[in-house]
Amino acid sequence: MNSSIFGKFADDAVNFLFSHFRGGFDAFSAALGAVIKLLEDGLGAVPFIAMLVILMGLALWRRGVVFAVFVGAALYVINYMGLWAQTVSTLALVVAATFFSLVIGVPLGIWGARNRRVEVVLRSLLDFMQTMPAFVYLIPAVILFGLGRVPAVIATIVFAMPPVVRLTTLGIRQVREELLEAGRSFGSTDAQLLWKIQLPNALPSIMAGVNQTIMMALSMVVVASMIGAGGLGEYVLSGIQRLDIGIGFEGGLGVVLLAIILDRLTESFGVKSKKSKKKVISTPAKPAAAGSTAQT
């Protein structure tokens, strides 16, 4: 099937990259592959029971007993289905993709917040990245990086990065103008404004972006199983190929449970720790020194 001029352009572009920067891509691929391998081996080395305790502990700390019980049950179900190894592999890919999405996405978001023109360009680029069907990314990824985990993670990064960029920009833009004014009036440099005022106050929004990015990475990792990402996605894929409802459902259930755990945990870091209750002191204690003049 012949494609039109747009298709040819995309084709030429990828071919050009492939033929001219092959060495670069190979090196990048190797580096990324090493990171993923390290993560997967690291997570894989943790015994199931230890992981169960760690995740339940996290759940207890961030959200409470009910969620901790849920996490325990979910992990038990996954293990019972015999999908623990696949789940760990998927988790490693999600963590790797999320990590790189944040490393690239947060600075891009900051840049967008500080420069209107950058934001306009970024916005159209992000719209494109988000609406392009996820499968499409698989093709150039395979051509440039071959089959396996590396192209899967790269396609995932492209697909999952937009939310954290957008929400970083939004969060920084939403910091109240008077706080910036106060910061400037005390002689802050631009970097001090960013680190001491803008980022801390944008943190809830950025964390919401991180949460979204993780969710999108998880959904993409399943799709990326088509180019050899492995993990739970591969299990689902084999269910599709064999038209085996049981296998497909079990793989899908594993993804859903992992998604719920990751979502609730990361979400809890976005809101302020719930133990700091708002108690407003409304009656100002009259300072002893001011007492004499304050009364008339």
Partner 1 sequence: MIPNLTLAPNDVTNPISSQPGIASPTRTVAASQTEILTVKNLSKIFGAKPERAQALLKQGLGRNEIFAQTGNMVAVDDVSLAVNAGEIFVIMGLSGSGKSTLVRLLNRLIEPTSGQVILEGRDIAPMSTPELRAVRREKMAMVFQSFALLPNRSVIDNIAYGLEVAGRKKADRYDIARAALTRVGLASYEKLLPSELSGGMQQRVGLARALAVNPSVLLMDEAFSALDPLIRFEMQNELLRLQKEEQRTIVFISHDIEEAVKIGGRIGIMKDGRLIQVGTPAELIQSPADDYVRDFFRNVDVSRFLEASSLMTKVERGLIACSTSAPSERYLNSLIDSGAECGYVCDEAGRYQGCVTPASLHKSGKRPIADALLRDVAAVPLTADLHQLATIALGQEHDVPVTDEQGRLAGVVSCRTILKQVMERRAA
Here the tokens at position 110 are: 């900051």
Applying CB under 8 A, does 282 fall inside the site for partner 1?
Answer: yes
Query: Angle at Cα 109 formed by Cα 111 and Cα 127, nearest 5°?
Result: 115
Q: Which of 189, 240, 271, 274 binds partner 1 (CB under 8 A)?
A: 189
Q: Rounded to an integer, what distance in angstroms lies between the CA atom of residue 194 and that of residue 206?
A: 14
Tokens of 72: 């325990």
Residues near 221 by Cβ (< 8 Å), separated by ≥ 6? 90, 93, 94, 97, 152, 156, 229, 231, 232, 233
* Residue 275 is a binding residue for partner 1 (CB under 8 A): no
Q: Which of 48, 148, 176, 237 binds partner 1 (CB under 8 A)?
A: 176
Least distance in angstroms from the C-beta of 196 to partner 1: 7
245 near partner 1, judged by CB under 8 A: no
Largest Cα–Cα distance of the chain, in whole Å?
A: 91
Please report whether residue 201 would count as binding partner 1 according to CB under 8 A.
yes
Q: Whose Cβ is closer to partner 1: residue 1's or residue 294's?
A: 294
Q: Among residues 3 and 189, whose Cβ is nearest to partner 1?
A: 189
117 contacts partner 1 (rule: CB under 8 A): no
Phi first, then psi, for residue 289 (nearest 5°) are -65, -30
Beta carbon of residue 273, minimum distance to partner 1 (angstroms, whole number): 12
Which two tokens mark 222?
A: 């399943």
203-232 residues in contact with partner 1 (CB under 8 A) are: 203
Choose the stretch contacting partner 1; rule: CB under 8 A; options: 133-141, 145-153, 185-193, 238-246: 185-193
**How many Å apart are CA 238 and CA 229, to the nearest integer?**
13
The minimum distance between CB 294 and partner 1, in angstroms, equals 5
- Contact segment (CB under 8 A) with partner 1 among 2-10, 51-59, 186-194, 207-215 equals 186-194
- Choices 44-52, 82-90, 212-220, 276-284; region in contact with partner 1 by CB under 8 A: 276-284
Q: Which is nearer to partner 1, 77 or 199 (CB)?
A: 199
- The window from 74-82, 115-123, 145-153, 285-293 that contacts partner 1 (CB under 8 A) reads 285-293
Residue 294 binding partner 1, by CB under 8 A: yes
Q: How many chain residues are in contact with partner 1, going by CB under 8 A?
A: 37
DSSP per-residue letters across 136-169: GGHHHHHHHH-SSHHHHHHHHHHHHSHHHHHHHH
What is the token pair recorded at 228? 């050899």
- Give the shortest CB-163-to-partner 1 separation in angstroms: 23
CA distances from 111 to 1, 108, 155 (A): 41, 5, 23
Per residue in 186-219, is it b (16+ CB within 10 Å) or e — as a string? eebeeeebbeebbbebbbbbbbbbbbbbbbbbbb
Which residues make up the interface to partner 1 (CB under 8 A)? 176, 178-179, 181-189, 192, 196-197, 200-201, 203, 276, 278-290, 292-296
